[in-house]
Amino acid sequence: MGVKKNELVQWIGGLEALKDDVPEIMSQIAVGEGQYAVRQARLICKNDSPDIVNTGDYRRNWKSDKTARRSGNRFIVRFYNPLDYASHLEHGFRSHFVPGHWEGNTFVYNRDDPEGGMFVGPKGGYVRGHFTMKRAAKRTKDTQQARVSRKITREINKRMKTK
């Protein structure tokens, strides 16, 4: 079984073209990993901590960058929750009094409410964090090698067959 020169030249040309596409491929994969981390965070919020915030804003506001930033050989994609109270839910906070009142099953914050309010957490204590971001990042990293390898192989096969 022999290899024809035309086929070899075509295959080498495909490899050269693939080499030029590597940064774009890796950037797409990095963005996909950010999106995977977002899905994991939302899943953690849904399954493990349904009582975190009754509006669902915390769960819905997980985001990741739409483009990857390159730093040396790495591609960086931020994964975050922009809500003001997200860091408090992530890491925990000291117990405190919150002024306001209850309307049905919903607590309405009101700084000027003279008679209402509630104490969050045990008096004089600490409310433990949920560590949603940390857990989502760990889940992503734990399964990342297989997922990224699969995506790279798929992209190589797709690009080598079309050239």
Q: Cβ distance 63 to 77 under 8 Å?
A: no
Mean pLDDT value across the chain = 85
In the chain, domain spans: 5-162
Which tokens hold the place of 108?
A: 């309405």
Report how far residue 47's alpha carbon sits from residue 42's, in angstroms, rounded to the nearest whole number.
9
* Among 124, 18, 125, 134, residue whose Cα is nearest residue 81: 134
Q: What are phi and psi of 68, to 5 degrees?
A: -95, 145
DSSP letter at 129 equals P
Q: Cβ distance 37 to 136 under 8 Å?
A: yes
Q: Determine the pLDDT at residue 65.
A: 95
Which tokens hold the place of 8?
A: 């070899």
pTM, 2 dp: 0.77
The predicted model gives 108-137 an average pLDDT of 86
Identify which of 99-103, 107-111, 139-143 has the greatest average pLDDT. Answer: 139-143
pLDDT band of residue 90 (cuts 50, 70, 90) is: very high
| Residues counted in the chain | 163
- For the purposes of burial, counting CB atoms within 10 Å of the CB of 44, is it exposed (0-12), middle (13-18) or buried (19 or more)? buried
Strand partners, 76: 69
How many CB atoms sit inside 10 A of residue 82's CB?
Answer: 8
The Cα diameter of the chain in Å comes to 90
Q: Determine the pLDDT at residue 14.
A: 74
Q: Determine the pLDDT at residue 163.
A: 47
Report how far residue 44's alpha carbon sits from residue 59's, in angstroms, rounded to the nearest whole number.
9
pLDDT band of residue 51 (cuts 50, 70, 90) is: low
